Amino acid sequence: DVKVTQSSRYLVKRTGEKVFLECVQDMDHENMFWYRQDPGLGLRLIYFSYDVKMKEKGDIPEGYSVSREKKERFSLILESASTNQTSMYLCASIDGQGARSTEAFFGQGTRLTVV
Amino acid sequence: AQKVTQAQTEISVVEKEDVTLDCVYETRDTTYYLFWYKQPPSGELVFLIRRNSFDEQNEISGRYSWNFQKSTSSFNFTITASQVVDSAVYFCPLFGRGTDKLIFGTGTRLQVFP
């Protein structure tokens, strides 16, 4: 019954490393999102995508990039990890047309620690 | 621009009290969806409800009720006779059909004490 899967639950990376966070959904949704969640700040939108190869910057894109080569997969890339990118990362997908499903679906989250 | 404001950072109540969580939104999209999600201490996001922009009907589900008012751009959530299990962080995200963005506010932490 898993609908949105993130590749790792916990990750520890060193400063300066390139980090890949993968997200896969099995609902044929066009719209996918990456957020980071920090205490007291809610979920802040990093990047989103409304179709294959299409991507848009969210509210805090600096230091991140994304890739959407296939409809079901949306990857978040930290080009050169820094300690201020230590956070919980959440992936989500939604049926933007609203016809097939009612809710937005979320992955289980990846807790990334950069040391 | 698109924005969600949950002005109540934290609310504390005693069990059996009623509590209302406020949500105010801004969007230029004419078609949009509003949601409420619950995030208990375990961390997963639990879907509670979705409202479409063209459907202002209020909704009641057990102890939960929602009041959607486009005139004031608000989508408030009331828990009647609160219980300790209602303790969580609550979010009311907004999805705009034109912008394709799903954005969140900072959430409201509800603590229900026995």
> Would an 8 Å CB–CB cutoff place A74 in contact with chain B?
no
Q: CB pairs below 8 Å between A and B: how many?
A: 56
- The answer to whether the CB atoms of B43 and A109 lie below 8 A apart is yes
Q: What is the pLDDT of residue B58?
A: 87
Share of chain B above pLDDT 90, in %: 89
Q: What burial class does residue B101 get, using C-beta atoms within 10 Å of its C-beta: 0-12 exposed, 13-18 middle, 19+ buried?
A: buried
Checking if the pLDDT of B103 tops 90, the result is yes
pLDDT computed for residue B1 by the predictor: 83
Cα torsion A83, A7, B49, B62 to 10°: value is -100
Q: Which of B33, B11, B30 is nearest to B78 (CA)?
A: B11
Could you report the per-residue pLDDT of A82-103, keeping only the tens digit for each? 999 999 999 999 987 766 667 8
Asked if B91's CB is within 8 angstroms of A104's CB, the reply is no
Cβ-based contacts of A31 with chain B (< 8 Å): 95, 100, 102
pLDDT in tens, B37-85: 999 999 999 999 999 998 888 889 999 999 999 999 999 999 999 999 9
